[in-house]
Structure 1
Amino acid sequence: MGTSLPLPKYHQIYLILREQLQEGRFDQDGVPGEHALAGQFNVARITIRRAMEMLVADGLVSRRPGLGTRPVPGVSGVGGIPNADKQQRAHLTGLLENIVNMGLRTSVQVIDSALVSASPSVAEALCIAPGTPVYKSLRVRSTDAGPLSYITTYVPQAVAEFTRDDLQREPLLMLLEAAGVEFGGATQTISARLADAQVARHLDVSVGSALLAVTRVVRDMDDRPVQLLLGLYRPDRYQYQLQLSRVGSIDAKVWVSEELSAQFH
């Protein structure tokens, strides 16, 4: 698989598939068959079978003869984001400017842009009904050093309409703002993911390489979700920083964030 991670191949594949299941990747069509996955990861079918056995043991998928492999209901959750009322929302002051600035200072390749039906996990994150029309976009951003990020975004059709050419020309947040969206806040999680074959190809890394994963739900002033972003970043070309301050009494001081910023090269 072209990776230096000290893990057996089947375990690496298990980790990648587990992340994809949690993101809702297979909610609609089910998990690809062993033959297709063996070709995707360039391994023997027995390796895929061992990875699948681990997913079954974890209660993440069910396998039935003639029906294929399906995610167990309730597994997906778009990057593990809890409901908005259980999360503190990060104000977009500074963050929005930083995101737009990154969009203006990098080049973008629109891999795909289409109107699709929201999967259950996407619908939950955007507080809409499953099947609601959403614009799904896949983009790769690059700097002079090479590819930086692999971004998947979802925007409800009711929020704004835009074309592939629009995405090629301007950052998505600027398009939403031009459509009349007034941004209010965002819920964001930062974690780690392993690169699957598709992402690895676009980011020019090995399959199984560690990536910085950002899941962000942007809301308007009425607290309506207007965008879901699932971003995978090369950690050697992207850094995310928080400016912290100490507040509270001497015996109960805590760290709070004053500013959100990102650096890339």
Structure 2
Amino acid sequence: MPLPKYHQVYLVLREQLHEGKFAQGLPGELALMQQFSVARVTVRRALAQLAQEGLISREPGRGTRSLLQRSVAQVEAATHQPTKTQQARLTGLLENLVSMGLRTTVKVLSVQRLPAPHEVAMALQLPDGEWVQKAQRVRHTKEGPLSHITTWVPERIASGFGRKELAQKPILMLLEESGVKVGRAQQSISAKLADANMAQHLDIAVGSALLAVNRLIYDTDDKPIQWLHGLYRPDRYEYQMQLSRVGSIDAKVWVSKELSANFH
């Protein structure tokens, strides 16, 4: 049974609040109505539930503000210490990513050159305000949209490629063509709900569950060269791993060997 519309709006807004997206205040009711394509009563019911849980404060004449703020420590933890981390050599995860790029098509939504936001600068170990390239793309299989990808790359590396090149080749190949020697990747995988914008890009309903991937790629000198945020349709994407037990009897641990990234 599908979730009520107000609950879908509530779930998406709650997730965005916990991510610190509304530090400057939530959009007004009219903007939320347009964003989610719902009636005012639906928006008000979702906001009322958020207020009841102590997540927002609604004051007449002053708008709606978040009562949640991400601390610097929380941002650093989300960026550098994911709870479920996979590190892989080029022969594993990164090789599969290149293969995926060659076997799917991509639509470049935007490519911007801008000063790095604080969270991006921390991830890429750059000074605040250092110039970076931000690119947003939607990748497709023959069945339709598969993923929405946002990448951040230091401008000194990304200056050699732009919209045209990103539409033709996987970004890892472009990085290597720019003289970068790709080393390892650190990745976290979690779940996220689709907001109205993402629902439109991926051809799904608002509030649908997505696989959320944060991936930080390093060169062979162990310097970050790309930070990626990816949202994948779970009905069209899966990532396979083979697990083995190693170590002594009293201290056995699971180690992984990446097999393939499958999509359909």
After superposition, the Cα gap between the structure-2 partners of 1:170 and 1:23, relative to the gap in structure 1 and judged at 3 Å, is farther
Q: Unaligned 5+ residue runs, structure 2?
A: none
Q: 2:20 aligned with 1:13, yes or no? A: no
> What residue number does 2:87 align with?
90
Matches within 5 A, 1:16-95: 16-23=12-19, 25-26=21-22, 30-55=25-50, 65-66=61-62, 69=65, 72-74=68-70, 81-84=78-81, 90-93=87-90, 94-95=92-93
Relative to structure 2, which stretch is displaced further, 107-116 or 89-98? 89-98
* Residue identity matched to 2:38: V
Q: Which has the higher helix share?
A: 2
TM-score under structure 2 length normalisation:
0.85
TM-score under structure 1 length normalisation:
0.84
| Distance in 2 between residues matched to 1:131 and 1:14, nearest whole Å | 34
After superposition, the Cα gap between the structure-2 partners of 1:144 and 1:87, relative to the gap in structure 1 and judged at 3 Å, is closer
Q: 2:164 aligned with 1:165, yes or no? A: yes
Identity %: 55
> What residue number does 1:139 align with?
137
User: C-alpha root-mean-square deviation of aligned residues, in Å?
Assistant: 2.9
> What residue number does 2:115 align with?
117
Cα deviation 1:82-136 (Å, max 9, x = unaligned) = 4259985502332111101100110000011111232233233223334332211
* Residue identity matched to 1:35: L
| Distance in 1 between residues matched to 2:222 and 2:79, nearest whole Å | 15
| Distance in 1 between residues matched to 2:4 and 2:128, nearest whole Å | 37
After superposition, the Cα gap between the structure-2 partners of 1:52 and 1:80, relative to the gap in structure 1 and judged at 3 Å, is farther
After superposition, the Cα gap between the structure-2 partners of 1:256 and 1:208, relative to the gap in structure 1 and judged at 3 Å, is same
Cα deviation 1:147-206 (Å, max 9, x = unaligned) = 111111111213322211111111111111111222222221111111111111121111
After superposition, the Cα gap between the structure-2 partners of 1:30 and 1:79, relative to the gap in structure 1 and judged at 3 Å, is farther
| Distance in 2 between residues matched to 1:198 and 1:79, nearest whole Å | 27
* Residue identity matched to 1:182: K
Relative to structure 2, which stretch is displaced further, 14-23 or 202-211? 14-23
Q: 2:258 aligned with 1:259, yes or no? A: yes
SS at structure 1 position matched to 2:211: strand
Q: Is the 8 A contact 1:24 1:122 kept in 2?
A: no
Relative to structure 2, which stretch is displaced further, 131-140 or 236-245? 131-140
| Distance in 2 between residues matched to 1:168 and 1:240, nearest whole Å | 24
| Distance in 1 between residues matched to 2:157 and 2:56, nearest whole Å | 34
| Distance in 2 between residues matched to 1:226 and 1:233, nearest whole Å | 22
Q: 2:185 aligned with 1:186, yes or no? A: yes
* Residue identity matched to 2:46: A
> What residue number does 1:156 align with?
154
Deviation at 1:242, TM superposition (A): 1.2
Deviation at 1:60, TM superposition (A): 5.4
Q: Is the 8 A contact 1:33 1:69 kept in 2?
A: no
Q: Is the 8 A contact 2:245 2:255 kept in 1?
A: yes
* Residue identity matched to 1:165: K
After superposition, the Cα gap between the structure-2 partners of 1:84 and 1:223, relative to the gap in structure 1 and judged at 3 Å, is farther
* Residue identity matched to 2:32: L
Q: Is the 8 A contact 2:22 2:65 kept in 1?
A: no
After superposition, the Cα gap between the structure-2 partners of 1:92 and 1:57, relative to the gap in structure 1 and judged at 3 Å, is farther
After superposition, the Cα gap between the structure-2 partners of 1:25 and 1:123, relative to the gap in structure 1 and judged at 3 Å, is farther
Q: Unaligned 5+ residue runs, structure 1?
A: none
Q: Is the 8 A contact 1:90 1:186 kept in 2?
A: yes
Deviation at 1:249, TM superposition (A): 2.0
| Distance in 2 between residues matched to 1:116 and 1:11, nearest whole Å | 36
SS at structure 1 position matched to 2:231: strand
